[in-house]
Amino acid sequence: MDGGSIPPISTIAVVARWESSLPYHDEEHMTVVALPTETLRRRLAPRLPGRRLETWAPGDAAPFPGPVDLLVLPYMIAAPELRALEGLPIGLVQSQTLGYDGVREHLPAGLRYCNAVDVHEASTGELALALVLADLRGIPDAVRDAATGTWSHRRRRGLAGRRVLVVGVGGVGREIVARLEPFGVDVVRVARTARDGVHGADELPALLPTADVVILAVPLGDATRGLVDAPFLAAMADGSLLVNVSRGPVVDTDALLAEVSSGRLRAALDVTDPEPLPADHPLWSAPGVLITPHSGGDTDAMDERVDAVVLEQVRRLEAGEPPANLVIG
C-alpha cells in the first residue's frame, strides 16, 4: 500500500470479482463506500476516483445510501449501536478501533467486520510511556502546585533501572516495549501463554512482586475481564504503579480503589470501569491516581492511518482479495 490514490477498475472486472462475495451486483456497479463524516469523505475523495463515496453512520437521520460495498464506522461507536445495521445490504464493515469487545454480541448476523490494525498502537504506546513518566516524575503534583504558585522541590523516582511488566504483547504491547527500552529499564513481557522471551500469565503471581510498574495492554475478553482483581493487586509491590491502556473492565475498580486509597499502590488510567467515569466517582480524588479520558489512540496521526486502512480495503475488495484484519464473518 503506497498511500496514494487507487485507480478505477473496469466494470467487467468489478462484476467478475464480486459475483460471489457481495449480496448484490450488476453490470453498472461502482464501488460504494459509506463514510461516517463529511471530513473523512472529503479527505478520501481525491484518492478514490471513480468510486461513489457517501456520508452515513448508524443513527443518522439521512436514509442509508445502500447497497454499500464498504461501511466505515464512526470512531469509538458503542457496540449496541451496530444493531442499526440489521437487514442493510453491506458488503464489509470497517471499524476505526483496534478493540472489538462486545461487537460479536451486537453485530447483525451475516455481516463481516474488520478491526483497525496499525492505527492506534503507536499512539497508545506513546501515552503509556507518558503516563509512566508523569507518575514517576511527579508531573500531576507539579501541575497542582502551579495553580497555587507553590515551589515544591523534592526528589522523585526515575524510570531508568526500573523493572516494568508489560502484560499483553500484541500490537500495543510491542509499541510500549519499543518506547520503554531506550530508558534503560528491565522489561518483562507477559502473555496468555509462555514462549521465547515471554512469560505466561500463570507466572504473574511470582512476577508481580518484583515489578516497579505494571502496564496492561491486553484485549478485553472472557480471559481478561477482571484479570486485575484483589489478589492480583495484593501481589504487586508496595509503592508500585499500575498503568491501564487496555480496557476498563480488565481491572476490578473497587479492588483498585481500596489499594490506592490506602496509599499502597498508584495508578495511571486511560480507561476506567465505568466509562466515562462519573464526575462524582471516588477514583477522581483518590491519592496517587492519574486519569486520562480514553485518549490513547486518538492523535492527529490517526487520520492518515485510517485513510490507509480504507484505501487498502477498497484495493482488496476490487482485487478480489480477502479483506485485511477480518475478525468476524
CA distance linking residue 108 with residue 111, whole number of Å: 6
* Annotated catalytic residue, options 247, 259, 312, 318: 247
Query: How, if at all, do strands 163-167 and 213-216 pair?
Result: parallel
Per-residue burial over 195-215, b if 16 or more Cβ lie within 10 Å, else e, is eeebbebeebeebbeebbbbb
Q: Could you say which residues of the chain have pLDDT below 50? A: 1-3, 8-27
- Is 321 one of the catalytic residues? no
The three-state secondary structure class of 216 is: strand
Q: How far apart are CA 260 and CA 275, in angstroms?
A: 19
Beta strands 163-167; 266-269: pairing state: unpaired
Q: Do 107 and 85 contact (CB within 8 A), yes or no?
A: yes
Q: Which CATH superfamily is domain 121-291 in?
A: NAD(P)-binding Rossmann-like Domain (3.40.50.720)
Contacts of 206-210 with C-beta under 8 Å, sequence gap 24+, read 207/165, 208/165, 208/232, 208/235, 208/236, 208/237, 209/235, 209/236, 209/237, 210/163, 210/237
- How do 326-328 and 113-114 pair as beta strands? antiparallel
The amino acid present at 62, given as its one-letter code, is A
**Where does residue 87 rank: exposed (0-12), middle (13-18), buried (19+ CB within 10 A)?**
exposed
* pLDDT at 66 (0 to 100): 86
Tens of pLDDT, residue by residue over 113-148, are 999 999 999 999 999 999 999 999 999 999 999 999
Name the catalytic one among 86, 181, 275, 304.
275
Cβ contact 11:28 at 8 Å: yes
**Confidence (pTM):** 0.88
Catalytic, 181? Answer no
| pLDDT at res. 39 | 98
> So what's the pLDDT on residue 5?
58
- List Cβ neighbours of 129 (8 Å cut-off, separation of 6 or more): 176, 179, 180
Grid coordinates 503506497 are at which residue?
2
Q: What's the chain's length in residues?
A: 329
- In this prediction, residue 296 carries a pLDDT of 95
Closest CA to 97 of 241, 203, 220: 220
pLDDT at 197: 96
Which residue is associated with the grid cell 492511518? 305
Catalytic residue among 25, 189, 266, 294: 294
Tens-place pLDDT, residues 39-69:
999 999 999 999 999 999 999 999 999 899 9
The pLDDT value recorded for residue 6 is 59
CATH code, residues 11-119+300-328: 3.40.50.720
- The structural domains of the chain, with segments of one domain joined by +, span 11-119+300-328, 121-291
Question: What string of DSSP letters covers 167-213?
Answer: E--SHHHHHHHHHHGGGT-EEEEEESS-BTTBEEGGGHHHHGGG-SE
Separation of alpha carbons 190 and 194, rounded Å: 8
Any idea which residue has 486520562 for its cell? Answer: 292
DSSP 292: -
State yes or no: is 144 an active-site residue. no
